[in-house]
A and B are shown apart, each in its own frame.
Chain A
């Protein structure tokens, strides 16, 4: 009896000890992530927000990146961006000992625009192909070898590393089609990259629409396409779009596929400053993730670069995380509401 009791106590102790270990492990992960958010949030917040009136550093958000010039002038330390420095030069003729730090002045406006363009284009493409593919898979297909092949292809496509998509996009769009480093190449590369995720999400939503809705419509004499258009898609669409928002986060967040297909480290013109409207599709753009890569590894590090690094990382992380958060919250709501 006593032996059994002590045995049980030992096993109870073991149980609670192990459960605590699990708990600590879980919260450790959450803490690590929280630390990252806080670190970037606080240090980047210093660049992006200001103490005075608009409280947002509009210059950082609305100007292109520029070179920063640092010098001593009459005992005062001057930090001027490229444009300011040239203006200053016209009024002051003296020679000053200047240190220049590339990318560290100005802002990230072209990067924000570029990322937005990339996301819009590639998501349009991916949603179009992805939803069509999902409709075929859930509405038209019967189980067979062809369908199995498609499913295997989708599964495997989902596991292909993003850098391989980059290589593929470079080989096919940039070189073989001769589109060079351009928006179009980036759209296709990124769009094909998120395609598996979109297809899976769309198919799940389509299958969640009850079979009765289809049967009812068909029984009334509607054709298959009419059924899909009127009775299946409208109900599945919110779900599809919700799940696709996570795809947006992924498209916006990836760097490797656009490195040699769409992104420029520096470009002076904005994307709409093109000579002819067709050139719009064949221009490279600056992008937030690539900009982070460039400013954090391609230029020498010093106290001035940290501002732009953390500022860019903050804006980027905030955008991506907001998208992800929206997606997660919407999905939670939908799961609760949608039970047919």
Chain B
């Protein structure tokens, strides 16, 4: 009896140890879920304050009249852009007819046009100063919450005894000034357009015609701008959704500026997508080709050499690839674009050695192993019967590959491509080192030339700016928001790839 009970106690004890061990392993298994949850929580925790701060930032932009000044500034900038385009037209004319007398007349015209913007520029710089003073006064007064990346610098209280209302009325004088200046400008430019210089080169003529049209359009919208200035009201509330839309659809990422900070993700997103597009454009054909080659065509010995080698490539650290890009690839791409036989490409030679293409071609090398491994897996997993049936029907190897194997493994190949895309979008060091890091949407009017311009990417901006921002500032939170967008994007890509694989498994049975 006593022995029995002792046994029962031992068994119970053993059972509790067993279940404790099981619980221990189970809790370790939970780590994956916990980490994923923590990543989400922390990205939200650090990032979400961004919207509140951004709203305050946007409200200050309006209350300080910066928005008002930017309306006028946009006009001055359009004028400057038109003036620059005249320079380009002159270049065309000079290239075809170097010593043409028409150049002199044209230069006079261009100079006169450039001068016509004089008063407008003066107005911009006046209002700019007023708005800045007003902005500082508002920040000093602590309304509507001292925001922006006032990185530790306390606003100089003594230098800002500006009464916001007085300053605002001072600023609003431009309501009347702008129409008069615009009228004078219009008259001047109209005069100029009445007697345009004669151009001889046909390309220059065409450009000049379209320039004239753009200039007329520009002049025609002055009354609307005056109207806009009149109607502009500093006390109008900035709606709350603007904090979100200005992030998701904003085309400017300007930080630590003394004028106005903008946190728009579009330039970064476009940069990331362009780099990924180039990388995939190179990596998908190469990866799929080599997968087909290794699984169907290559001899046994070749296979056992190529497969480990490509796996080996996937272990190259990204920072080494990035360094290689700076040291070798960038130079090579630029040198190639300067070769005489590449003259036929309209946007060559390129000026920046670090650009979308440099980064993309290096990332392709990182994506190839991913795509190769998974696509090769998918091809190998096609049931043997499929292939044998195809041969039995008299198809040759190519027909079997093109009509049977690839279609049967298509969803596997597509999911391989998607995982490659996920890897490329999330890659940091190569784009940080090789994409050129210019925060601007590339100039798409150049067509494919846009792919040879420097960009900045979502991963790159986090890596570059995170080390320098003040914790808790709007800039810091904006970077976490970018991280969140990146996280959601890669999760989405992953999810899509998994769905495809699941379906592919079912379809083959």
Q: Which of B32, B285, B321, B486 has the most CB atoms of chain A within a 10 A radius of its CB? A: B32
Q: How far is the CA of A39 from the CA of B327 in the complex (A)?
A: 10
A256 touches B317 (CB 8 A): no
Is the CB–CB distance between A164 and B43 below 8 Å? yes
User: A139 — which chain B residues lie within 8 A by C-beta?
Assistant: 25
Given contacts A159-B493, A168-B42, A171-B43, contact A136 B29 (CB under 8 A): yes
In the complex, which residues 1-32 of chain B have their Cβ closer than 8 Å to any Cβ of chain A?
14, 17-18, 21-22, 24-26, 28-32
Residue A100 at the B interface, CB < 8 A?
Answer: no
Say if the beta carbon of B360 comes within 8 Å of chain A: no
A289-B319, A316-B320 as given contacts; A159 in contact with B311, CB under 8 Å: no
Q: Which of B70-78, B341-349, B379-387, B424-432 contacts A (4 or more CB under 8 A)?
A: B424-432
**List of A residues within 8 angstroms of B318 by Cβ:** 253-255
Chain A residues whose CB sits within 8 angstroms of the CB of B419 once the complex forms: 159
Q: In whole angstroms, how far apart are the Cα atoms of A132 and B24 in the complex? A: 8
- The answer to whether B323 touches A313, judged by C-beta atoms less than 8 angstroms apart, is yes
Tell me whether B290 and A22 are in contact (CB under 8 A): yes
Complex: how many Å from CA A325 to CA B365? 18
Within 291-345 of B, Cβ neighbours of A (below 8 Å) are at 292-294, 297-298, 306, 308-313, 315-324, 326-328
> Given A11-B396, A33-B365: A160 and B498 within 8 A (CB)?
no
Residues of B within 8 Å of A240, CB to CB, are none
Residues from chain A with a CB closer than 8 A to the CB of B309 are 30, 33
Q: Which of A26, A150, A163, A306 has a CB less than 8 Å from the CB of B428?
A: A163
Q: Is A120 an interface residue (CB 8 A)?
A: no
Is A36's CB under 8 angstroms from B43's CB? no
* Shortest distance between the CB of A53 and any CB in chain B (Å): 29
Which of A158, A250, A292 contacts B323 (CB under 8 A)? A292
| Contact partner, A133, options B31, B42, B368, Cβ 8 Å | B31
Q: Which residues of A contact B425 (CB under 8 A)?
A: 161
Interface presence of A225 (CB below 8 A): yes
Q: Is B175 an interface residue (CB 8 A)?
A: no
B487 within 8 A of A: yes
Q: How far is the CA of A320 from the CA of B490 in the complex (A)?
A: 26
Structural contact, B462 and A11, CB atoms closer than 8 A = no
CA distance A310 to B326 in the complex (A): 12
Which of A157, A199, A321 makes the CB contact (< 8 A) with B312?
Answer: A321
Q: Which of B42, B311, B397, B427: most chain A CB closer than 10 A?
A: B42
Residues of A within 8 A of B448 (CB): none
The reply to whether the CB of A236 lies closer than 8 angstroms to some CB of chain B is no
With an 8 A cutoff between CB atoms, is A208 at the interface?
A: no
Q: Which of A26, A156, A225, A260 contacts B290 (CB 8 A)?
A: A26
Q: Is the CB of A11 within 8 A of B398?
A: yes
Within 8 Å of chain A (Cβ to Cβ): is B84?
A: no
In the complex the two chains form, what is the Cα distance from A61 to B326 in whole Å? Answer: 24
A153–B399 CA distance with the chains assembled, in angstroms:
40
* Contact (A161, B32) CB under 8 Å given A39-B328, A40-B324, A297-B433: no
- Say whether B324 contacts A39, CB under 8 Å: yes
Among A15, A30, A167, point to the contact of B466 (Cβ < 8 A): A167
Task: Say whether A162 contacts B428, CB under 8 Å.
Answer: yes
Residues of A contacting B32 in the complex (Cβ-Cβ under 8 angstroms)? 133, 150, 153-154, 157, 195-196, 199
Contact present for B471 and A175 (CB under 8 Å): yes
Q: Are B494 and A155 in contact (CB under 8 A)?
A: yes
Tell me if B39 is interfacial: C-beta within 8 Å of chain A: yes
- Report whether A167 and B483 are in contact in the complex, using a CB–CB cutoff of 8 Å: yes
Complex CA–CA separation, A199 to B25 (angstroms): 12
Is A32 close to B, CB under 8 A?
Answer: yes
CB contacts (< 8 Å) of A317 on chain B: these are 316-317, 320
Show 7 residue pairs from A and B whose CB-CB distance is below 8 angstroms, ordered by the A residue: A28-B286, A140-B26, A150-B33, A163-B459, A255-B317, A293-B319, A296-B433
9 closest Cβ pairs, A-B complex: A161-B426, A253-B317, A132-B28, A324-B315, A136-B25, A25-B289, A26-B290, A159-B494, A22-B293
Q: Which residues of A contact B (CB under 8 A)?
A: 11-12, 14-15, 18-19, 21-23, 25-26, 28-30, 32-33, 36, 39-40, 129, 132-133, 135-137, 139-141, 149-150, 153-168, 170-172, 175-176, 192, 195-196, 199, 223-225, 246, 249-250, 252-256, 259-260, 289, 292-293, 296-297, 306, 309-310, 313, 316-317, 320-321, 323-325, 328-329, 332
Given contacts A161-B459, A163-B428, A225-B18, 10 further A-B contacts (CB under 8 A): A26-B306, A133-B25, A136-B29, A159-B426, A167-B466, A249-B315, A256-B428, A293-B429, A320-B320, A324-B311
